[in-house]
Structure 1
């Protein structure tokens, strides 16, 4: 897990880079004022220097604002166990977008593009892009909203539709999850934004659930199944809430009854959860073959 100290070290490196950027910008400003001989001999170098100033100036201001915001955020959460990495991620994404805009403006300056023509051209291009890539733009906006939300954080274990896993990254287009099989699941931000998300990391407990069906001929009741499955996980009960196992009937069809067993775990631990799930699956499989006592190892 990334700690506050790690973030402070990263912020320290970024401050050094910002100081270097400020030094380069001041040197270029000094050269543009003094106009050295090489600028007179090669006018394009002067224009190139002015273009860099046009980019570095606003970019430097944005970098300073970004560092101040991140430093304030880290100090605010110093007494907490962790900080919301997605907030810092959102700041970084916004800064990247603004730097791209500044670079585009500086690049057009090199070719003596009229500002009015530039604004008109950008407006037409932006309108065309908004129509053509509206899904991507919606993903970007939804991604930024998710990044600045206090409901989701990098590292949270969530359930989104049929997918469940840990949030590894949130880009401007997708949310990337790592599921129980260590597979990478890529979900568009618009889908994540419009879906019901269960954030299991925000809960004090972790809920484990398994659906299964049994033949009606065996006449199993939810009470019997609860007692049977409680015995199955008896040796792994240190991670299970007291009275945290329950069985409910989902549906009764012509030949089978569909049940769901739910277990409340004290803490989210993938290894312990896998052990409890394995014991329950083994007990259910044994039960499907006949009413026998589960083997407890």
Structure 2
């Protein structure tokens, strides 16, 4: 088999083609470069306008990306048309390839569709702390395929969007206020009214506890080894964990100072010795 390549012959052909089509090639490249630059400017302008109108960042990013890719595709078709390519056939080929690729990556397309649903429905946004699909974390980004979460210990979790739209979503930071639920057990021999007064005093002194809605301190149940009090103050969402940790510690110390016990489960074992037979 003769694998010799006639460089001079092909060079002549290339030069001849460039002589005839060189201007069209330069114009096509110019259309492509200017078009991509213009598409980026339009995308940035669209995102900036939406953000100024306080549109959710996920929706503004989605709209910007859609605008960008539509314009880039339009510019590519225009550049090919400048080179004399039959764009009608090109569009048909692109459509056929799109169908074939779609059948091959149907799972990715499902994630894409779910991403569109998440961006338009907006059950959460960047910065929200959510629990979904068995994981929890702060939303860092939502793409058309995945949602990226960051856990409190700084792990990165990537969740396919279909897992999210098909599951229950708990958004812990969707509202401005949250209720802290504490269960405090005191001994059966302790003064319930005194214990409630001690806890109420701590809540009144805590600046992060809101006046409205009002807090609750009440007996919830008579447990096996303790009288259980529910302590339910309301705080701003951003103060939730700090207030919860501080109140838990302060309630324990205050009850100790006032001689009120916090019992723990225990068992009394009675050993009965049998007489000699």
Is the TM-score greater than 0.5? yes
**Structure 1 residue 174: Cα displacement:** 0.9
The one of 163, 168, 183 equivalent to 2:140 is 168
Partner residue, 1:269: 239
Change in CA separation of 1:183 and 1:90 when aligned onto 2, cut-off 3 Å: same
- CA-based RMSD of the aligned residues comes to 5.0
Tell me, yes or no, if the aligned pair for 2:129 and 2:173 is still in contact at 8 Å. Answer: yes
Describe the superposition over 1:93-119 as per-residue Cα deviations: whole angstroms up to 9, x where unpaired: 214433553476478669865434323
Partners of 1:184 and 1:115 in 2: CA distance: 44
Higher helix share: 1
Structure index of larger Rg: 2
Matching of residue 50 in structure 1 with residue 22 in structure 2: no
Gaps (5+ residues) in structure 2?
Answer: 1-14, 221-228, 254-260, 267-277
Change in CA separation of 1:127 and 1:229 when aligned onto 2, cut-off 3 Å: farther
| TM-score, structure 1 as length reference | 0.56
**Structure 1 residue 130: Cα displacement:** 1.7
The one of 159, 169, 172 equivalent to 1:187 is 159
Tell me, yes or no, if the aligned pair for 2:217 and 2:231 is still in contact at 8 Å. Answer: yes
Gaps (5+ residues) in structure 1?
Answer: 1-37, 78-82, 250-258, 292-297
- Residues paired across the two proteins, number: 239
The one of 85, 92, 97 equivalent to 1:120 is 92
Partners of 2:120 and 2:100 in 1: CA distance: 28
